[in-house]
Amino acid sequence: MSNTDDLIANFAAQGAEPPPHVLRRFVLPLIAVSAISAAFWLLLLGEPFTAAERYGPLPMIAKWGFSLPLVFGSAYALLAMGKPGQAVQGRLLFLAIPFAAAAALLVVDLSNGGGGFPGETWDRCLLAMGTFGPLCFAGAIVATRWLAPTELRKAGAVAGIFGGSVAMSAYAPFCPELGMAFMTTFYILPILIMAGIGWLAGPKLLRW
Amino acid sequence: MEQGDRLDLLMQRARNGDAAAYRQFLSLAATRLRSALARKIGNDGELEDLVQEALIAIHQKRHTLDPGRPVAPWLHAIARYKLIDHWRKRGRSPVLHEDADLAVAEDEFATLDIDALLAELPQAQAEAIRLTQIEGLTGSEASERVGIGLSAMKLRVHRGMLRLKELVAEDEK
């Protein structure tokens, strides 16, 4: 009997039933890092959404309108990318929509004079993105490693988008800053940097 | 019955606890992988290592095959990944230039009755698609077998795929 036959006999004895809680094992790391990020700011800064009392709900809608589709869209894309042979182009294209919308809003905002840049709390925002972005990226890497991604650079980049967008979603309710220039510089740019890091590190971090 | 269908059937039985079916599934998968990979790296000592690596991945990552999904696209995606990894480790280009022109999204027709669809195509186009997309031959191998040029083979595949898309769209209406 050859080594390959031995291998087959060994696997056949183990059975083909997949291990339990497949989806749960993918989702749990994503939920864990999201919960940690949200809980940290809640405990540190207290009541969220206080800026809405002064500026109304629109700034918050713009921030979450950008970040939450990216959070759910990137998680959904990672789930497909981790299953060999599944089509993922549509899910990846979906991730471009928030960026395109933000770019359009930036143009409109700048043509109206912009303003609100760099704001008074830009350093706190940068700190939030710089610390929780990598943490949430790590959660996405752990989740994706449980699956079997075959395009490691793309999956790494999407994990980076997940990390950055969760960091943004968690901090945004405590962010009093306005304006698309601020959002582009201190939220969108860090998310793109995280995606770039994921693109570069994906082949090392996700290899299986 | 196509081998892809047989793999699906065996996997379904295996997941219901039939160890013999799983053994048959792995043996058939190994045969198909050996045949496909030999065309890429030759039939040398590394081939069997690569087949074993792919089998290990198939077993360890079997939870990434959703129930009811066809096995063949999943199997070939894993084999392709392991092949590229193999090349990467040896510093060789993983780009399959010849295959790139013939590539289609693995999942595009995954849930359809391929045989029924192919029966509606002109015979030459159906044969071209069967050889390159189901049997896994390269463009050159398929053109050699049929006795036509590579460009003509690519054209047949291209036209056939376009027609298949139209048929799928008509079915969905």
User: What number is the ipTM of this complex?
Assistant: 0.85
Query: Do residue A16 and residue B62 have CB atoms under 8 angstroms apart?
Result: yes
Chain A: closest CA distance from residue B128 (Å): 21
CB atoms within 10 A of CB A135: 16
pLDDT: which is higher, B110 or B57 = B57
Q: At what angle do helices A189-205 and A152-171 cross, to 10 degrees?
A: 140
Predicted confidence at residue A52, as pLDDT, reads 76
Nearest CA-CA distance, residue A24 and chain B, Å: 12
Q: What is the mean pLDDT of residues B98-107?
A: 46
Which pLDDT does position B110 carry in this prediction? 53
Residues of chain A found within 8 Å of residue B61, distances taken between Cβ atoms? 84, 147-148, 208
Residues 6+ positions from A201 with CB-CB distance below 8 Å: A156
Instruction: Assess whether pLDDT exceeds 60 at residue B99.
Output: no
Q: Which residue of B has its CA nearest to A204?
A: B85
Pick B107's closest partner by Cβ from A4, A82, A86. A86
Q: What's the confidence (pLDDT) of residue B102?
A: 46
CA dist., res. A161 & res. A133, Å (int): 9
CA–centroid distance for B54 within its chain: 14
Contacts of residue B100, Cβ cutoff 8 Å, sequence gap at least 6:
none
B98 pLDDT band, cuts 50/70/90, is very low
Separation CA B37–CA B10 (nearest Å): 22
Identify whether the C-beta of residue B72 lies closer than 8 Å to the C-beta of residue B7.
Answer: yes
- Mean of pLDDT values over A147-163: 97
Query: Is the pLDDT at A115 greater than 80, yes or no?
Result: no
E-assigned strands of chain A? none
Using beta carbons and an 8 Å cutoff, which residues of A are at the interface with B?
2-4, 7-9, 11-19, 22, 82-87, 89, 147-148, 150, 207-208
Token output for A14 = 């183990």
Q: Which residue has the tokens 């050859």?
A: A2
Nearest to B78 by CA among B120, B145, B86, A112: B86
Tell me, what's the pLDDT at B104?
47
Q: What domains are there in chain B, each with its CATH number?
A: 3-89 (1.10.1740.10), 97-172 (1.10.10.10)
